[in-house]
Chains A and B, each alone.
Chain A
Amino acid sequence: MKHKNFKTWLLAVVAVLGCASPGRAQDLPQEIRIGWAISRTGSYAGGASTTVIPNYEMWKADLEKAGGLEVGGKKIPVKFFEYDDRSSSEEAVRAVERLISHDKVDFVLPPWGTAMNLAVGPILDRYGYPHLATTMISDRMPELRDRWQNIFFFTLTSSDYAKGVVDLLSKMRTEGQIQGKVAVVNVADQFGIEMVKAGREALVKAGFQLVYESSYPMGTQEFQSTLSEVKRRQPDVFLAFSYPPDTLALNDQARAVGFNPKVFYTAIGTAFPVFKERLGANAQGVLGLGGVSAELPVTRAYRERHRQMFKQEADYNGSAVTYATLQVLAQAIAHTRSVDRKTVSLDIRTGVFDTVIGKFRLKNRIWSEASLVGQWQDGVFQPVAPDQAIGVKPIHTPKPPWKP
């Protein structure tokens, strides 16, 4: 313990010497103002309420309880601002503009979802605000990273996630766990289309046989006819690049029509607590997008706090990462003893942070150590691919047949 204390001390001294020029602490304001616009209502409210809002609320409560953000041994109270963007991009843009010009916030926390993050990106960039994008999955990320110098990504691109699944399938085929027949469906919006495009390419390249491929309109919850048709093609693998309500419907209706492929994958929403509540024992073996290991003691403690505070579990993908980004922001402010956005952004680029998912460092403004594919194993959504992901577990195959 003593040793650890010493190390912390040394780190602190180095940080102080390295970052804080004399007089910085006096530059600190009387209060720090932080705001966000989030989808409390509208079509994105479901995702926002699961992954983002509880974390913002938890962080807010934590800071209020602590009497503010601690910077150089001094507590600076934080004032929070929140708006409902009603799931409309225009509204989100207006709200963020208001946060910046009217409420004069020091930092803006991001909204939920790819579309909303894309919508507010240009304003945050224009005013030089750090943009900690946690719930955005798009193939445009590399291009945006070049264009917006203060954006940070805590997810990977659609292609990465799609290829992650296909790589896993190739590995399973080599090990003789599956044959080559694959059926794919996708939600017909940007996310689904990007995923299926990358997925199809990767599948064909790896020599898989696509026996069924189709998109469905956003909001669809009726899949009995589609799944009956898919079942007739007898694929080994079923991949659905889906959103939460369709994810649940696909799983439930696959059970209803008795469709039991060896691999069953649904994308967004598979790692949500509602998935386990709804499917119970039938969740076993289902694969989904992402997956953050819940095994670190800090992560466990975080999940427990989340459960107590909201009477609801954190999801196994974006939740802990979202909370971690808030810690990153707080620690960057503390490291640099500054609310100057440029200084803080610079620290986020290069700093090492202690978060609820462990030690955290970004490479080239991207954090890419979470897994691409996860799987429900005995009531926990575990990361299963790629091999170098944090806390990765061996995959369970084949998926057990649905219980009636």
Chain B
Amino acid sequence: MPLLDALLNGLTLGGMYALIAMGLGLQYGVARIMNLAYGQFLIASAFAAFWLFARHGLSPLLSLLLLPPLAFACNWLLYRILLMPLVRRAKSRSALEVDSILLSFGLLFVIEGLVLALFGGNYVNYAYLGQVVVVLGTPLALNRLLALGFALLLGSLLYAFLHRSRYGTALRAVSVSPQAAQLVAIDVRAAAAMAFALGGTMVAASGVLVSMFLTFNVSMGVVFTMKALIVVIMGGVGSLAGCLVAGLVLGLTESLVATFIAPGLTLVATFALFLGLLMLRPTGLFKGAAA
């Protein structure tokens, strides 16, 4: 059935969008780091998964356990070493945003250069879990369902962490007001480092998942940064639930437009939706920080 096909395809697509956007949501929403190298981190992780799989026969599912903790450590160090000086000297949050944009723009080229030197500029694509399962009469690839599943799982885990744990509450407090958070003895810098590193963990996980079904090369990072940015802003900066909903809405829109209107108009539909939403709700679907 066309409608059901479109809805299910849209959900898996939206799941991927939500997945790749959640990390940026954390980094931007809580740590206030506008990470322009976000897509390059994703591509680097996709290449790592490919390398482990093609050269060492390591299943991407194992990479999914291995790479995110590694990314957590790397991102935490990155924050501590590279970003801390910026945080210290920033007079305001917006000053930090501007500085972080400049720094991550440089970082973008460093990562791209490294990946290029290691893997070359070629397209990479490996098949993993490409088997098809039929859901309600619609054939869907297993790897895409996995991405949707992980988006929902990671989304709810993060949600629970932010809302049910003491540490998560501290992160949300920092996201709302760093000054006030300091007054109640929250180590703002530690919390921001944690949020940035968690974001990096998410992006590593999504890189591995996406590598199972998309063709990628070094230069595609910026595509993912753009998509993630749109989803984060649509959902409302700092809102995880917003990320999830905005991602799914975007995926459904694209799929419905491709099925019933024309595939050529998917991009137009995406940006029309984005613009329309920003005009009606400038702060995004879910206003507020880490809510």
Report A's interface with B, CB cutoff 8 A.
39-43, 45-46, 48-50, 53, 87, 185, 188, 214-217, 219-226, 228-229, 232, 244-245, 248-249, 252-253, 255-258, 269, 272, 274, 277-280, 312, 404
Contact = CB atoms under 8 A, between A and B. Distances in A.
B125 A278 contact: yes
B271 to A, nearest CB: 11
Nearest to B132: A256
A49 B214 contact: no
A59 to B, nearest CB: 18
Contacts, number: 130
Contacts of B139: 256-258
A38 to B, nearest CB: 10
Interface residues of B, number: 42
A221 B214 contact: yes
Nearest to A253: B141
10 contacts: A43-B219, A45-B218, A87-B219, A214-B263, A216-B264, A221-B214, A225-B5, A228-B138, A255-B130, A256-B141
Contacts of B2: 228-229, 232
A220 B266 contact: yes
A229 B266 contact: no
B11 to A, nearest CB: 11
A277 B125 contact: yes
Which of the listed residues A46, A252, A277, A278 has the most CB atoms from chain B within 10 Å of its own CB? A46
B120 A225 contact: no
A40 B121 contact: yes
A245 B123 contact: yes
B27 interface: no
B121 A229 contact: no
Contacts of A229: 2, 258-259
Q: Which secondary structure dominates chain A's binding surface?
A: helix
Contacts of A312: 122
Contacts of B125: 248, 274, 277-278
A278 B126 contact: yes
Contacts of B122: 46, 49-50, 274, 312
Interface in B119-148: 120-127, 130-132, 138-141
Given A45-B217, A87-B219, A404 B132 contact: yes
Interface in B127-173: 127, 130-132, 138-141
A224 B14 CA distance: 13
Given A46-B122, A312-B122, 16 more contacts: A39-B121, A40-B116, A41-B112, A46-B123, A46-B217, A216-B258, A216-B263, A222-B266, A223-B263, A224-B255, A225-B9, A229-B259, A244-B215, A252-B130, A258-B139, A279-B127
Given A256-B140, A257-B139, A49 B121 contact: yes
A269 to B, nearest CB: 8
Given A48-B121, A312-B122, A248 B259 contact: no
A245 B215 contact: yes
4 A-B pairs with the lowest CB-CB distances in the bound complex, closest first: A45-B121, A49-B121, A216-B263, A245-B215
Contacts of A225: 5-6, 9-10, 254-256, 258-259, 263
Contacts of B223: 219
A274 B139 CA distance: 25
B149 to A, nearest CB: 17
Given A41-B112, A41-B116, A214-B262, A256 B215 contact: no
Nearest to B119: A49
Contacts of A219: 223
A229 B6 CA distance: 9
A233 to B, nearest CB: 11
B218 A404 contact: no
B13 interface: yes
A210 to B, nearest CB: 14
B95 to A, nearest CB: 30
A249 B141 contact: no
Contact of B121 (A53, A216, A222): A53
B123 A249 contact: no
Nearest to B264: A215
A229 B258 CA distance: 9
Given A40-B116, A45-B121, A48-B121, A216 B266 contact: yes
Contacts of B258: 216, 222, 225-226, 229
A140 to B, nearest CB: 23
B248 to A, nearest CB: 14
A244 B131 contact: no
B267 interface: yes
A245 B218 CA distance: 13
Contacts of B219: 41-43, 45-46, 87
A85 B2 CA distance: 44
A48 B121 CA distance: 8
A49 B139 CA distance: 34
A52 to B, nearest CB: 11
Contact of A258 (B10, B116, B132, B218): B132
A269 B122 CA distance: 12
A216 B254 CA distance: 11
B259 to A, nearest CB: 4
B123 A185 contact: no
A118 to B, nearest CB: 20
B208 to A, nearest CB: 17
Contacts of A226: 258-259, 263
A186 B254 CA distance: 17
Contact of A46 (B6, B121, B132): B121
